A and B are shown apart, each in its own frame.
Chain A
Amino acid sequence: MTDTVLIVDDSPSIRFSISTILSKTHLDAQTASSAEEALSLMQAGLRPHILITDLHMGPMDGVELIRQTRKIPGLQFIPILMLTTESHRAERQEAKDAGGTGWLVKPVDGLKLLQLVAQLAPES
């Protein structure tokens, strides 16, 4: 079965950009335009090997998506990266406390993102 990365962002250009970059990896990129849509996909059975989510989305934000994802069986330990324009320490801490794995500030360096994804979801 193909490994999957789920990209959650309300910006179409960000979803397109990240999924295009990650098409260079072994991962199959799926996208959601809101936290609610992502949660719905995962509750319906999608089991991404890595989750990349925006912070500011409405009504559910990225931190809450992390909390809800961690409650889903099989997704308690997957890498979850926050991809956001925010860079404040307090917000990073909040994402970490919610169960986040890492923090990426937009615009993220494409090659570094590829290295990070290869590190977090190595090809089996």
Chain B
Amino acid sequence: MAINKDSNSYTFVFAIVLITVVGTILALLAMGLKPMQAKNDEVKKKLDVLSALMTPKEMETIDRSNAAEIFEKYVNLEDALVLDAAGKVKEGLKAFDIDIRREYKDKKLQEADRNYPLFIAKKDGKTFYIIPMIGKGLWGPIWGNVCLAEDMKTIQGASFGHQGETPGLGAEISQPFFVNRWIGEQISDESNEFSKFEIVKDGSGAAMPSRVDGITGGTITSVGVQEMANRCLKVYVSYFNNL
């Protein structure tokens, strides 16, 4: 049986069959794997929070298998708060369920209506405040967690992540050398005013508070981190000032 493969009808039928088959496979796969992916995302969120709280040395013993257990040990989700853009506590919301990434992406949601979760952790008898952040890099979203010490000012730990920044350039924001540049910086000055962060190119970041050295070749991602930190951390400073 000869089929004219150049005929319009054959082309249409082939295209329809192909997209139906491929579409079905992809849809079934995505549906079937969704519960596992959601669980992985939840563990990842806990890992991100922990990596800001724990020292790099302690993080070496934490992976996906024990992240949930260690998270529960240090972070009490009952204490966690949700703030509004003015830094006031919002009641009746669960901090861990707030998806700041979805809210950030939601164009219909005004910036003033976004929720700002705050996790409170107890470690070695001290209280730590962990602030999740979300922003935009060169190719996609970037995120981070900042852990403040008991004085609610000094950055005691941080972690950054990204979806698809350029490997070796912008992607370096998640590397320890960049994260370490944030440790010891202060989010507010002596008069408790929010101090704006600046990512600098001249290497002066190490010596000056609220100045951080950027990454060579990763300028746009570095600027994205700066914008993210300034926009997100500001809200929490007004909350801490009203305590």
A binds B: no
| Partner-B contacts on A (CB < 8 A) | none
